[in-house]
Amino acid sequence: MIVPELRPWRAARPHVVRIVRAVKPRLARVARVVKPRAARITVALGPRAAQLTEMVKPHVTRVAHAVRPRSGRLTAPQLTAVAATMGLALAAGAATAAGPWDSSGQRTAERDRAAAWGREGGADHGGDSGTTAEAPAPAPSAASVLTGLGGATSTTKSAAFGPNLTAVLDKALADGSLGARRTAVVVDVATGKRLYGKGADDALTPASTTKIATAVAVLSAAGADHRLTTRAVLEPGTGKVVLVGGGDPTLTARAKADSWASLRTLADRTAAALKKRHLDRVALSYDTSLFTGEELHPIGVNDNLARVTALMADEGRTDDSTSGPVRRGTDPAADTARTFGNLLRAHGIRTTAPGASSSKATPGAQTLASVQSPPLSAIVERMLTNSDNDIAEALARQTALATGGEPSFEGGGAAVADQLRKLGLPLAGGRFDDGSGLDRDDKLTADLLTALLVTAGSAAHPELRPVLTGLPVAGFTGTLSDRYAGDAERSGIGVVRAKTGSLTGVNTLAGTVVDTDGRLLAFAFLTDGSMDRTAARAALDRTAAILAACGCR
């Protein structure tokens, strides 16, 4: 049989030659990679390889004789025919040799082996991995922070650390840069068992790790789906519009609001509602009565925090930042009301200037329009990731409102403590004078911080998951985005998730970490008396990285 060389092939030949030349080096690299594996496969097949060769040989011989041209040279299409036939023959032989097969199309040997393996898999989910000495060990299965810990379906491994963990952490925490006092706790999140403790019940100033407690309290009190509402209302028969604050610390007046509540949207809707009522001139006022007590934090005027008020846009910031320290306006509520008035005027609604002080809307006021915040779950995540003090103080007051308390600094702190007590958490020695941790009189223990994290991962409290998902990721997000850069900390990148804390002399870190065995651990490190903030932070990061790199026994 002579297979003529087709005209299209003659035209395509130069292109094919170029492709072959380009691919040849890559095929060589692939061959080098595959060669060891092919050798292992050959050894494993043993006698089956010889059988397979004998099965295929007659087919190949017949095809070669059939397509051999008179000239003695094979053309490209003829070579293709031979290769295709050989491939089919090899495939058929391999399938036969690999059998037998059951009626469902599954190889019976594979089915039987899978049954014998039980719960083994490609990742290290427990037990023998089934890999050979020559094969690479399976990657550990990192425990998800969203696993229902303690539940029947939990796959998170429990830790099996021993004396070695104590030795390595004792050495790490002996770093002189951490100051005179340091406490620490490490807990296996799957079981709640304490693996390490150093001054676990000693209460120290927690700084911003206080926000973990605030987050747990507000989520358990108000619910993860709760939203905060800012309204514009009309006092009947007066032509007076009141902008009513709902205690939403994420309200924004910027053109790009993303998913946050927009003061611009509220103005758009309010103007439309007024025009329907044939009102184009109103008196404007504002209501901040939802929160009570002193607005100024005990630390005084500070770039880390605005005055705490129920009505505030963009956290009273005087630039276009969304997080971090910056100068704040002296009266955020009045500033927000003035901005709202300007937005109404842009829609043709003339307004009087809002007064220097707020005035409470009456119960009979009619709602013209409203905007809502994202759910508390999203607000909590933003607070933890950015260590946002304005959000923290607002959420402490929201905890008080949800539980019938006084929405003030004192009332918010009391509400947070009461809510944690209801959850059965260890509060001995604890003190909450604010929700952000800026107050140095706040006191927490490492035992309480790890208990908060374990509770947040519990199957019994799915509403608390944002506490874990909001923690900054080492080397990637929030207050940990620029940390873990040193060689000694790099093992923590991506697997340490932790809330940072920092005041003069105080450095803290509390969060979760997945170790090399795939175990999820909760940890809390609190230190006091450091004279070098940079060195102390690096020491804490190294300590957390030790947990990430450890499969210590």
Distances (CA, A) of 201 to 195, 368, 418, 434, 450: 15, 52, 19, 21, 11
Please tell me whether the peptide bond between 100 and the residue prior to it is cis, using omega within 30 degrees of 0.
yes
Q: Which of 154, 157, 211, 458 is catalytic?
A: 211
**Environment class of 7 (CB within 10 Å of its CB; exposed 0-12, middle 13-18, buried 19+):** exposed
Q: Determine which one of 208, 285, 358, 377 is catalytic.
A: 208
In terms of residues, how long is the chain? 553
Classify each residue of 38-72 as buried b or exposed e, where b means 16 or more C-beta atoms within 10 Å of its C-beta.
eeeeeeeeeeeeeebeebbeebeeebeeebeeeee
Catalytic residue among 154, 285, 373, 387: 387
Between the two ends of the chain, the Cα-to-Cα distance in Å is: 72
Any idea what DSSP says for residue 519?
B
The neighbouring-strand residues paired with 181 are 528
Q: Helix (H, G, I), strand (E, B), or coil: what is residue 520?
A: strand
CB-based contact 208:252 (threshold 8 Å):
no
Beta bridge partners of 284: 241
The Cα 270–Cα 539 span in angstroms is 53
Q: What are phi and psi of 351, to 5 degrees?
A: -130, 155
211 is catalytic: yes
Which of 376, 342, 339, 358 has the alpha carbon at shortest distance from 250? 376
- State the CB neighbour count (10 A cutoff) for residue 84: 11
Residue 505 and residue 26: Cα distance in Å, rounded? 58
Whole-number Cα distances in Å, 345 to 36, 42, 313, 339: 76, 82, 18, 10
> What distance in Å separates the CA atoms of residue 495 and residue 544, rounded to the nearest whole number?
10
Q: d(Cα 535, Cα 502) in Å, to the nearest integer?
A: 12
Enumerate the active-site residues: 208, 211, 387
